[in-house]
Structure 1
Amino acid sequence: MVLSRFWLVIFISSIVFVVISLFSGNSYTIDYVLNGKKDDPILLSEKYINQVPVFIKDSIKNAPDQTMIINRDTLNADTTYVYKNKTVKIFSGVQKSDGLLPTCKSTLLDLILPLMAYLAFFCGLMELLIISGATEKFARILSPVFVKVFPSIPKNHPSISYMTLNFAANFLGLDSAATPFGLKAMESLQEINPEKDKASDAQIMFMCLHASGLTLIATSIIGYRAAANAANPADVMLPCIITSFIGTIAAFLIVGVKQKINFKSASLVTGLMVLIAAIVGLLMYVNHLDLIGKNYFTSNLSALILVGIIASTLILSFIKEKKFAEAKTTVYETFVTGANNGVKTGVIIFPYVLGMLVAISLFRNSGLFEIISNWIAFAFSNMGVSKEITDALPVALLRPFSSAGSRGFLIDSMNTFGADSLTGRLSSIFQCSAESTFYVIAVYFGSVNIKNTQYALGTMLLVDLICVITAILVASWFF
């Protein structure tokens, strides 16, 4: 219900704002909202050639392509005058994201189809783990901790192993693997959900922990920083880990209090201490490496572990081939069955993702997002927050809505202010310390047709806010 109303508010308010801007004269056309492409110039007005300044008119006539560009300043897009069909079109600024119709197309071609391919492959592997009995053994080992965090899940339930693989993939920055494992976990949790259209306690806890974005190896962020010529691309790794870990603990405590979880459980405390020890150990190891060593370690660990998971799954399937024979199938046929289920899941979630991304596209292109961002930045600056911090806030504000959009802001902030500036580093921490909340909710809850997400959205947004505040404090402390 909350998600539905939020979606409607974004959609309707954006449309109203666009229409008002058109009829109030603030916008010349709204076609870009429907058909425009990201980074396309925006049409501001159209005049007859006699209505433009004389020096511009002369320049246009003398130009071979009858186009003139005036450099306004280094921070804003150029103003372009194009003479065509007896009128001069004046463009300035660029579009923030694809329009509504291009978003529909790119959602299918650039997002859903690749996601379906990932789902097909990893769901095929998951099916091998199920038939081979690996998931059952995995669940048995981890049950003592998971039954405390998810008391409504039966002991040794298969969802435990799926959730573990999802968390592990997130920890290592393996986004392509995390989503299929997570969707399989939601599907498994839905089987024991007494109210099929309403999110269960276990599903909410899983979603909030997943969305808190605990990452140990921020591979993509390090890659972006390296491309931006950062002196030490991996220097944000420790702040990213600290910020995302605090966000994860906050998510667990907030949902745990709501669900009345026993925080004094010995197995729960032990599991938490093991996790903290693993993080501290990793940090100590990475900290003693030189620059080349850090880059080599972070770029290879995640990929090596993913290859290890694939190899171990196939080897185990070969060893346990008798179990596949007992199930009247083969290893390859089992993989194909799982892959087919992955494709079906991709088809199911497509409408949910499409609806959310189209609303976000409209929200950004309407100008509402920029106005809200400026208000928030103005409020922060009046509270004494430095400009270096407020310049990074667009990344934090857009992150819950769109990973691609916030990534664009991240790259822009590093190009504008420098990868080694506080703004560039803080933007990097914002990008890796949380998930795209609305996308995650649309994908995961949509995959099992849950309509009532209860308090999941509110909790995830609160955790996003905690991560933003933590990131600012950590970045100020480190840099």
Structure 2
Amino acid sequence: MLNLIWLSFFLIAFVCALYQWLALNNASIFEQLLTSIIDMSSLTVEIAIGLIGILSFWLGMMQIAQSSGVIDKIAKAISPLFSRLMPDVPKNHPAFGSITMNLSANFLGLDNAATPLGLKAMQDLQSINPKKDTASNAQILFLVLNTSSVTLFPITVFVYRAQQGAAVPTDVFLPILLATFASTIAGLFAVCWVQKIKLMQGVVMAYLGAAFAFFASLIAYMATLSAEQLAQQSSLFGNLLIISVLVAFLIIAHRKNVRVYDEFIIGAKQGLQVCITILPYLLAMLCAIGVFRASGALDIIVDSVRTLVAVIGGDIRFVDALPTAVMKPLSGSGARAMMVETMNHHGADSFAGRLASIMQGSTETTFYVLAVYFGSVGIRYTRHAIACGLIADVAGISAAIAVCYWFFG
């Protein structure tokens, strides 16, 4: 899928460039394409260099959290919920430990640890799957929650916004939190409806009730604020929460006699490798998208949607961020590149720049996650996994648009 998408960017861009040359007499179009490739290549290196420091710091702090047992405690706290949502999995099965560890790592923004933990969880669930080539109910629920899981600390989104010149990079914190919550709830309800899982259980209702109560009180409080106050509060809460959690990690680790400095160095050493791993993917997608935009192809698509929205009397400001939404289910690197390109073109603090950032943090990459996780255990028939995952994506993107208008409209 990604190969076809990447190839299509260049082929469509070339066709559009030929049209501009032959029909519109734009002889400089090919020079513009090459300039775009050069500019996007330089931007890729700047982004990767800027990421090294913050990723190294964050991975170092997460290493401290792992060594001090914080992630284990989070896993134990949410494991009773999954034992009810996955009735086909025997009680105390090792899969519950892997599942909760994976989702806890995602919750903390620890993508580095989330993927291997997710693969381990899928293998554990596969061990009790009666049809080895067909996804089980538990595997589908796990995958959908993984593709839409709430991420409390979207650090990389903040970093990209800072690199693109955002005045307050964390002002999208609360909008992302609300959008990703909507995505997770939609995905959970979709799977439970298909699989006929009873949500009216004491433990399940207690967890869901607590989550809804928290977000309802948060929304009720935010409803009393002006748009300017919303942006300020989002930044304040985001910064305060992140700093508080990091300090809590250090205090807990110190009390458990963890050598915090040594553990931090162990984790931080992974930062450079992570950036090196990301760089070629980001380079490929940024250059492809840059060519796609320089050829006029992206403008044709966006302008068509903008015209349609204008005809029906809708607000058209969200349209410029739609490429990120379209790319998000297909490719994480592609969506990330679309977000960066949107901020680079329109400005990080523009409506489109903020909305693209919120969209980036609202869901995971559905098709990539399904391909990697199901492929790791040889599953060929995914049943309703894709449909439920896309429902979560649509809910997250729709919520992202709504909260962006609320906060920054």
Q: Same fold (TM over 0.5)?
A: yes
Residue type at the aligned position of 2:62: M
* Structure 2 residue ranges without an equivalent (≥5): 127-134, 329-334
The 5 A counterparts of 1:272-311 are: 272-288=208-224, 297-311=233-247
1:209 is matched with which residue: 133, 148, 155? 148
Q: Distance in 1 between matches of 2:349 and 2:56?
A: 36
* Matched residue, 2:37: 100
Q: Distance in 1 between matches of 2:260 and 2:400?
A: 46
1:114 is matched with which residue: 32, 37, 50? 50
* Residue 34 of structure 1 pairs with residue 23 of structure 2: no
* Max Rg structure: 1
Change (3 A) 1:141 1:337: same
* Structure 1 residue ranges without an equivalent (≥5): 36-98, 170-177, 229-233, 325-329, 415-423
Change (3 A) 1:149 1:429: farther
Q: Confirm or deny: 8 A CA contact 2:106 2:150 kept in the other structure.
A: no
CA-to-aligned-CA distance 1:136-161 (integer Å, 9 cap, x gap): 22211111224556787945626635
1:385 is matched with which residue: 313, 324, 330? 313
Change (3 A) 1:192 1:206: same
Change (3 A) 1:432 1:350: closer
CA-to-aligned-CA distance 1:250-299 (integer Å, 9 cap, x gap): 33344666777664554333322211110111233344567887565433
Q: Confirm or deny: 8 A CA contact 2:359 2:400 kept in the other structure.
A: no
SS at match of 1:27: coil
CA-to-aligned-CA distance 1:47-84 (integer Å, 9 cap, x gap): xxxxxxxxxxxxxxxxxxxxxxxxxxxxxxxxxxxxxx
* Matched residue, 2:342: 406
Q: Confirm or deny: 8 A CA contact 1:394 1:406 kept in the other structure.
A: yes
Q: Distance in 2 between matches of 1:371 and 1:291?
A: 32
Change (3 A) 1:251 1:16: farther
* Residue 357 of structure 1 pairs with residue 283 of structure 2: no
Q: Confirm or deny: 8 A CA contact 1:356 1:439 kept in the other structure.
A: no
Residue type at the aligned position of 1:341: Q
Change (3 A) 1:106 1:433: closer
Q: Distance in 2 between matches of 1:406 and 1:134?
A: 37
Aligned residues: 370
Q: Confirm or deny: 8 A CA contact 2:99 2:117 kept in the other structure.
A: yes
* Matched residue, 2:9: 10
CA-to-aligned-CA distance 1:108-167 (integer Å, 9 cap, x gap): 322x23333222222222222222222222211111224556787945626635533543
Q: Confirm or deny: 8 A CA contact 1:162 1:182 kept in the other structure.
A: no
Q: Distance in 1 between matches of 2:207 and 2:301?
A: 41
CA-to-aligned-CA distance 1:351-398 (integer Å, 9 cap, x gap): 23322222222222221111111222233344x233xx1343122344
1:434 is matched with which residue: 336, 359, 362? 359
Q: Confirm or deny: 8 A CA contact 1:373 1:394 kept in the other structure.
A: yes
Q: Distance in 2 between matches of 1:253 and 1:331?
A: 41
TM-score by length of 2: 0.69
Residue type at the aligned position of 1:312: A
Change (3 A) 1:433 1:125: closer
* Matched residue, 2:66: 130
* Matched residue, 1:271: 207
CA-to-aligned-CA distance 1:283-316 (integer Å, 9 cap, x gap): 3334456788756543322212211222121222
1:374 is matched with which residue: 303, 325, 331? 303
* Matched residue, 2:81: 145
CA-to-aligned-CA distance 1:316-348 (integer Å, 9 cap, x gap): 222112xx5xxxxx4322222222234323323
* Residue 333 of structure 1 pairs with residue 262 of structure 2: yes
1:252 is matched with which residue: 188, 194, 203? 188
SS at match of 2:4: helix
Q: Confirm or deny: 8 A CA contact 1:128 1:331 kept in the other structure.
A: yes
* Residue 185 of structure 1 pairs with residue 114 of structure 2: yes
Q: Which has the higher helix share?
A: 2
Q: Confirm or deny: 8 A CA contact 2:58 2:268 kept in the other structure.
A: yes
* Matched residue, 1:345: 274
The 5 A counterparts of 1:229-244 are: none
Q: Distance in 2 between matches of 1:316 and 1:134?
A: 8
Residue type at the aligned position of 2:58: F
Change (3 A) 1:312 1:392: closer
CA-to-aligned-CA distance 1:223-270 (integer Å, 9 cap, x gap): 99x979xxxxx9x99987765543443333446667776645543333
Which deviates the most, 236-245 or 281-290?
Answer: 236-245
Q: Confirm or deny: 8 A CA contact 2:174 2:234 kept in the other structure.
A: no
